[in-house]
Structure 1
Amino acid sequence: MRAIQYDQFGDYDVLRAVDIPKPVPDNGQALVRLTLAGTHPLDNTVRWGKLPAGAVKPFPVTPGTIGVGTVEVPGASGPAAGSRVMISGGRYGIALDGTWAEYIVVDPAHLLAIPDDIDDTSVAALSAGAGYLTAYLALTELAGFQPGGSVLAPGSGGAVGQGGVEIARHLGASLAITTATTTAKAELSRAAGYEVIDLTRESLREGVARLTGGKGVDVVLDGVAGPITGQALGSLARGGTLVSIGYSAGIQADINVTDLIWKAASVRGFQFAMFTQEQINRTNSLLLDLVARKEITPLVDRVFPLEQAAEAQRHLIEGGPFGRVLLSL
């Protein structure tokens, strides 16, 4: 079967297209024939060798944390043969070989059947980057978000920025804000119906103050970090919460500690290991229903063929996409 692998840590050029044996399921595993896979900033972090020692399987590694396809061999439980499914949870592409391949063996507990009225591309866009899943769990389980509250999810082109705005609205936010680093991206955001701060025209704190009448936001979903974190913390309302999710703009942040003290603010770290598989599956099922009812609309920036996985990953990290970047198998 066709797959993408790497046998050393490094830049995009360590990714190579290979022809390897089709995997054989055992111990109740399921075999899935994949049609689409997603790219994720985490794929980049793993490939660079930035995770703790022992977190990544021995080389060679097949990347890819999410995928959509059809069950070819059912497992001991879970969806039947012929079912269209999405990967839900698991450490694929990290501790186990991932979805950048024609076939994958998975734990049946990590599969969710896709409703007939949702196409594969919409499901792949929903799960790529895990922005919608992250936003729902962060708001409902970590931030104590209540209907009528306000949310800032920086990064209008990214998974958490887009997913954060749409999920906040679904949960009853009075205001859901994102940010754009270019005027062109700000215009795309407005065309998609987002409330956006154009960071080329005003600072994040100025924009939040303008949109909230000086009050600040109740929750920040920070998938960007770097210089954004300090500004976002300072944009919280009194008693607000910042959930630290990702670090696409860097792992170092400068904060003013008085923004923590005087605002009585909270900072929470997010990782999927905090949640059970049942919570993840239940939330993904809810999100699939929201897609089917068109209450949320995951966006796709570009679909690359599998053999162009390196270009796809570069486009995700460096190309400033507006929407998800997918691989077609």
Structure 2
Amino acid sequence: MAVEARPLPGARDGMSVVSVKTATINQLSGMVRAGQVPAAKPPLVLGNEGAGIVESSRRFAPGTRVVVYGAGQLGITEDGLHQQSIVVEDKRLFALPDALDLDEGAAIAVNYITAYQALTRVADLRAGQTVLVSGATGCLGHALMQTARALGTRPVAIVSSTEKARRAAQAGAQVVIDLSRDPLRDTVLDITNGAGAELAADAVGGAMLGRLAQSVRPRGSVVAIGLAGGLEASVDLVDLVVHEKKLLGYDLHLETDEDVARAWARIAGFVSAGLLRPVIDSTFSLDTFEAGYQRLASRQAVGAIVLRL
């Protein structure tokens, strides 16, 4: 990867010019960079989510702070948000809530729309249910934890180390399972009086999916969202069949524009009510972006990794 100078873009019908201030270095951009997303062809500017200031638009007044939602295009099939200025479709922009700064704005659209839609549309989550969240201290994990709590459920943070357990509790998790010392299935049974959880949201992938499937109750569900832990998984088919458990997948890029707009309206409402706020792990500049990708690869980040432009 390299940094290069380009001419400033011009406005077009149905599109806005945005001065990008922040964007995330996330799992998707890491996968694109590693060649794991077939639709993404180099040369390509990465970055699927960010925040900035409107320079020119027919929808927003100049100077408006906005969130940029990349959908299945930006940073995948079109140049993304790791650049200082971008022309983007108006429908990909949402006003940034006053309660959030630009760093937080970079991390809210993709993560929280993913969390909200995976929990509600795909999993049909109901108030009062117990939800297991793997990778609970990552940017998506935090979004899942906060959104599940905002929806009136009991989220359980699943983390891989004592330090991450401490950080999860610091971020508001009331129940934390530390896999470095706690057996997952037995601990889940203990905290659910032997029943198991109604739902597990897997932000990790790989071997974690099978472990979560064993930890949900009969007729419970697992929603697979993340892939950082591996692209292959194994499940106990006897357990799956005999207990009528459901394995579900979620892909943000299949959402319609209408679904995204409705989800954002709920998310913005939760932000205004003080229920949602992205957690920022670290920030990097264009000059130090490689260090940001090293932080991503370490899988030690607690929250979002933000690139300041």
Tell me which interval the TM-score lies in, with the shorter structure as reference length. over 0.9
Q: 1:316 matched to which residue of 2?
A: 296
Tell me how far 1:81 sits from its aligned partner: 2.1
Q: 2:63 matched to which residue of 1?
A: 82
Offset from partner CA, 1:96-146 (integer Å, 9 cap, x none): 11110110110011111123343222222323xx33221210111011111
Tell me how far 1:159 sits from its aligned partner: 2.3
Q: 1:214 matched to which residue of 2?
A: 194
Contact 1:89 1:281 in 2 (8 A): no
Offset from partner CA, 1:274-306 (integer Å, 9 cap, x none): 321121122123223322321122211111112
Q: Pick from 303, 325, 329: which aligns with 2:283?
A: 303
Q: What letter corresponds to residue 203 of structure 2 in structure 1?
A: G
The 2-side partners of 1:208 and 1:131 are apart by 25
In structure 2, the CA distance between the partners of 1:131 and 1:259, relative to structure 1 (3 Å rule), is farther
The 1-side partners of 2:70 and 2:34 are apart by 22
Q: Pick from 14, 20, 24: which aligns with 1:34?
A: 20
Greater CA drift, 102-111 or 264-273: 264-273
In structure 2, the CA distance between the partners of 1:276 and 1:19, relative to structure 1 (3 Å rule), is same
Q: 2:9 matched to which residue of 1?
A: 23
Q: What letter corresponds to residue 67 of structure 2 in structure 1?
A: M
Secondary structure in 2 matching 1:36: strand
Secondary structure in 2 matching 1:282: helix
Secondary structure in 2 matching 1:67: strand
Secondary structure in 1 matching 2:67: strand
1:93 aligns with 2:75: yes
How many residue pairs match? The answer is: 307
Q: 2:111 matched to which residue of 1?
A: 131
Contact 2:139 2:302 in 1 (8 A): no
Q: What letter corresponds to residue 142 of structure 1 in structure 2?
A: V
The 1-side partners of 2:106 and 2:34 are apart by 24
Q: 1:56 matched to which residue of 2?
A: 40
Contact 2:22 2:307 in 1 (8 A): yes
Offset from partner CA, 1:224-263 (integer Å, 9 cap, x none): 1111111100011111111111111111112111221122
Q: 2:104 matched to which residue of 1?
A: 122
Q: 2:185 matched to which residue of 1?
A: 205
Task: State, as a whole percentage, how many aligned pairs show the same letter.
Answer: 32
How large is the Cα RMSD of the aligned pairs? 1.5
Q: 1:246 matched to which residue of 2?
A: 226
Moved over 4 A (4+): none
Q: What letter corresponds to residue 28 of structure 2 in structure 1?
A: L
Q: 2:149 matched to which residue of 1?
A: 169
Q: Pick from 155, 174, 193: which aligns with 2:172?
A: 193
The 2-side partners of 1:288 and 1:308 are apart by 32
Q: What letter corresponds to residue 119 of structure 1 in structure 2?
A: D
* Structure 2 spans left out of the alignment, 5+ residues: none
The 2-side partners of 1:325 and 1:196 are apart by 23
The 2-side partners of 1:184 and 1:117 are apart by 28
1:183 aligns with 2:162: yes
Secondary structure in 2 matching 1:63: coil
The 2-side partners of 1:246 and 1:155 are apart by 9
TM-score (norm 2): 0.94
Secondary structure in 1 matching 2:204: coil
Greater CA drift, 251-260 or 92-101: 251-260
Tell me how far 1:46 sits from its aligned partner: 1.0
Contact 1:301 1:325 in 2 (8 A): yes
Tell me how far 1:39 sits from its aligned partner: 1.4
The 1-side partners of 2:11 and 2:239 are apart by 52
The 1-side partners of 2:240 and 2:68 are apart by 38
The 2-side partners of 1:314 and 1:50 are apart by 17
The 2-side partners of 1:288 and 1:122 are apart by 13
